[in-house]
Structure 1
Amino acid sequence: MYPPHKTPHFHPNQTTLHWLMKDYYELHPVDKPLECTIQQGEIIYFPDRWWHGTLNIDTSVFISTFLG
């Protein structure tokens, strides 16, 4: 995740996996995103206007909605 004031560099036609494998490791440490791994039964809330990407590491289901 990146806060609203820190726009990540990404290509809109590439997947999160592609970004991870090609671009992530070239980032300077201060330019890397905040990261977390969600475990079974957990949820995450992305604050309004925060940039985020997801990478499923196992079979998963997700539900997304905009609140407001």
Structure 2
Amino acid sequence: MTYLITGVTGQLGAAILEKVSETVAKEDIAVLVRSQEKGQAFAQAGYQVRIGDFSDKAQLIENFKGIDRLI
């Protein structure tokens, strides 16, 4: 099962990522961030990084492919 967690650069999203990471392998967790720059630390930590913005529907559709759970 693959999870996509949004808002990971904020307090709530970061807390959710930390909690989910306790029981789910990093390979099964993707994070959605607005830029490659904001995703660097997550990529280095072993998470899948997807770049997107909620104002771009086409981009979101692409980013949601292969995701089983969206948080």
TM over 0.5: no
Query: Larger helix proportion, structure 1 or 2?
Result: 2
Query: Larger strand proportion, structure 1 or 2?
Result: 2
TM score, norm. by length of structure 1: 0.30
Q: Larger Cα Rg: Structure 1 or Structure 2?
A: 1
TM score, norm. by length of structure 2: 0.29
